[in-house]
Amino acid sequence: MEKRILTVQDISCVGQCSLTVALPIISACGIEAAILPSAVLSTHTAGFKDFTCLSLTEEFPKIINHWQKENITFDGVYTGYVLGEQIDHIIEICTKLNKGVKIIDPVMADHGKFYYGFDQAFAQKMCKLCQKADVILPNLTEAAFLLDEEPMLEGYDKAYIEGLLSRLVKKLKVKKVVLTGVSFEKSKLGVAVYSSQTSEVAYYFTKRIERNFHGTGDIYSSAFVGAYLSGVSLYDSASIAADFTVKAMEFTIDYADIHPYGVYFEQVLPYLIGKINYLRG
């Protein structure tokens, strides 16, 4: 029977990120993707000026109430870009309507800085949501802000990464963490994967693409969710998502000047589906 996952994040009308990324990637993995938009933006927030943003917080309790009346439930919840005032509503969904895994991507920061509209007060609210998660997917900056620490983005070693993961697990009581943006050498970029089942940290690296693309974090998280909900292991899901993201970036490089606001992930979906099907046997 096909699984149904609810993803809660914004809709950027132009720009390949958030729901316009999550919906097609998760659906391509053979999973029904239900959506709860946190906000509607005219474009995404990177690379565009004077974008509009309409919060949909007032709709959350109405939608939740309707779902309860219709006995609608989900096999998983996956969150991305959400607003602070929506977190209690999302926790209610996780508690009352969700029968399965809770995957939280604490979208709020990167490259040592908060995104527009976010701050340390939001990070503390996000901690409350992460405490309800089965898996969290922070980048290095988000992990530090969840701990109310200054981000360390270069010059670190495995001891720092594993200490960061240990502090996250202790504070948030979460059992599984995929930490993205980890690099011990300039030419490689990857993830550190922790599971309480083994109490060990496993690493996976790909080659670093020397160009920034918007929306790659959402592509990574959505691919991870698609693989993980398909029955692929935590580590293999993290690895598949990394490879898929890099391949999408490689495909886009030749078009980057005419397509500066996202990644042509659509062209690489057959690779993702093939890898998931292979690992599922």
Q: What pLDDT, in 10s, does the model give residues 56-79? A: 999 999 999 999 999 999 999 999
Domain span at residue 186 reads 4-280
pLDDT class of 1 with cuts at 50, 70, 90: low
**For residue 166, what pLDDT is reported?**
96
> Is pLDDT at 217 greater than 80 in this prediction?
yes
Task: Look up the CATH number of the domain holding residue 276.
Answer: 3.40.1190.20
**For residue 198, what pLDDT is reported?**
86
Q: Which amino acid is at 221?
A: S
Q: Environment class of residue 281 by beta-carbon count within 10 Å: exposed (0-12), middle (13-18) or buried (19+)? A: exposed
> Is pLDDT at 258 greater than 70 in this prediction?
no
Residue tagged 């999973």 (tokens): 31
**13: phi then psi, degrees, rounded to nearest 5:** -60, -35
The structure tokens listed for 30 are 């053979």
Q: Which amino acid is at 8?
A: V
Q: Mean pLDDT, to the nearest integer, of 221-226? A: 98
> Is pLDDT at 88 greater than 70 in this prediction?
yes
Q: Environment class of residue 107 by beta-carbon count within 10 Å: exposed (0-12), middle (13-18) or buried (19+)? A: buried
pTM of the shown model: 0.96
- Note whether 129 and 161 are within 8 A (CB): no
Count of domains forming the chain: 1
pLDDT class of 260 with cuts at 50, 70, 90: low
Length in residues, the chain: 281
Q: Mean pLDDT, to the nearest integer, of 230-251? A: 96
> Is pLDDT at 221 greater than 80 in this prediction?
yes
Cα gap 193→178, rounded to integer Å: 5
The H-or-E segment that residue 269 falls in is: helix 269-280
Between CA 239 and CA 250, with CA 244 as vertex, the angle to 5 degrees is 130
Cα gap 87→75, rounded to integer Å: 19
Mean pLDDT for all residues in the chain: 94
